[in-house]
């Protein structure tokens, strides 16, 4: 391995400091480091490039921050073709399972080719307006259909592979990957899904009918969600970071993406350890 890219959370001083330290470590190892042009760190040996060049040039990209930082990197075109090393700098961190104290040991193993990759399923979301594609996005966690703070219950007509499923009368609807099952879906009562499984889950948010429960669908499902009535404040939110206002008659199609996200796994903990740590299982 000859090239490493680093994308830190820019408003976290500890992330910027760690970036400088990793740059020094890489210089001593003879490894080229790529950083974004506007990153405020002192690293004379690093090559400054734009984000697109960093993603397409580096053999691995170290992401320093939390789950939100990783999700933003996952939306960068080309990120599905590079190995990502997600390092958790605090917070919940279901996706960024690698701890700061593990980073250099892990990098040594990566250089030696002794590491495991976790390939995570992604979803493609297309919003249709007037019957034509209006916007298209790729997501790692979830797509959420939700109402604004003052809006009334919304009606979301939902079908799977052309077959009518239900019109959810609720505060919203969450469609997620197994990776996203520990995000918003979990807080809304959705199931925890082991990340290597290939499936899609639908979880209603505060449904008006209490018998509306979460459902898990096969990976090849094509889910269509249509806004049935006029509402002033209804949004589609992708990975909690990108929002689109819906109009009456709009509908979205959600399906498995042809891309996957490749994450380097921590050799020091497994998925169940992450769950027990983050969810405080076993504690009283």
* CA proximity to 36, closest of 17, 18, 61: 61
What contacts 24+ positions apart, CB below 8 Å, involve 13-17? 14/89, 15/64, 15/65, 15/89, 16/40, 16/41
Is 67 a residue of the active site?
Answer: yes
Largest CA-CA distance found in the chain, in angstroms, rounded: 62
In the structure encoding, which two tokens stand for residue 254, read together?
């959600």
Rounded to whole angstroms, the Cα distance separating 159 from 206 reads 19
Q: Which of the residues 38, 67, 239, 270 is marked catalytic? A: 67
Rounded to whole angstroms, the Cα distance separating 182 from 190 reads 8
For residue 230, give the DSSP letter: -
Rounded to whole angstroms, the Cα distance separating 274 from 65 reads 17
Q: How many residues does the chain have?
A: 284
User: Sign of the C-alpha dihedral, residues 152, 221, 254, 193?
Assistant: positive
Catalytic residues: 67
């Amino acid at each position: 391995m000859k090239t490493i890219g680093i994308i830190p959370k820019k408003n976290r001083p500890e992330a910027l400091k760690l970036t400088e330290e990793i740059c020094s470590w890489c210089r001593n190892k003879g490894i080229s480091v790529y950083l974004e042009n506007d990153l405020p760190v002192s690293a004379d040996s690093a090559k400054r490039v734009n984000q697109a060049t960093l993603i397409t040039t580096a053999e691995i990209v170290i992401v320093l921050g939390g789950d939100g930082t990783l999700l933003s990197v996952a939306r960068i075109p080309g990120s599905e073709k590079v190995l990502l090393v997600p390092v958790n700098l605090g917070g919940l961190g279901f996706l960024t399972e690698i701890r700061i104290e593990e980073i250099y040991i892990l990098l040594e193993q990566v250089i030696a080719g002794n590491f495991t990759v976790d390939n995570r399923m992604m979803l493609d979301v297309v919003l249709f307006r007037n019957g034509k594609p209006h916007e298209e996005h790729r997501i790692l966690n979830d797509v959420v259909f939700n109402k604004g703070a003052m809006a009334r219950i919304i009606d979301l007509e939902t079908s799977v592979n052309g077959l009518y499923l239900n019109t959810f009368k609720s505060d919203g609807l969450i469609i997620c990957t197994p990776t996203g099952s520990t995000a918003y879906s979990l807080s809304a009562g959705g199931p925890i899904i082991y990340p290597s499984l290939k499936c899609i889950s639908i979880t209603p948010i505060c449904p008006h009918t209490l018998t509306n429960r979460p459902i898990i669908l096969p990976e090849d499902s094509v889910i269509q969600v249509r806004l049935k009535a006029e509402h002033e404040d209804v949004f589609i939110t992708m990975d909690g970071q990108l929002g689109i206002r819906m109009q009456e008659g709009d509908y979205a199609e959600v399906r498995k993406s042809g891309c996957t996200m490749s994450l380097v796994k921590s050799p020091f903990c497994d998925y169940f350890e992450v769950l027990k740590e983050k969810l405080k299982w076993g504690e009283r």
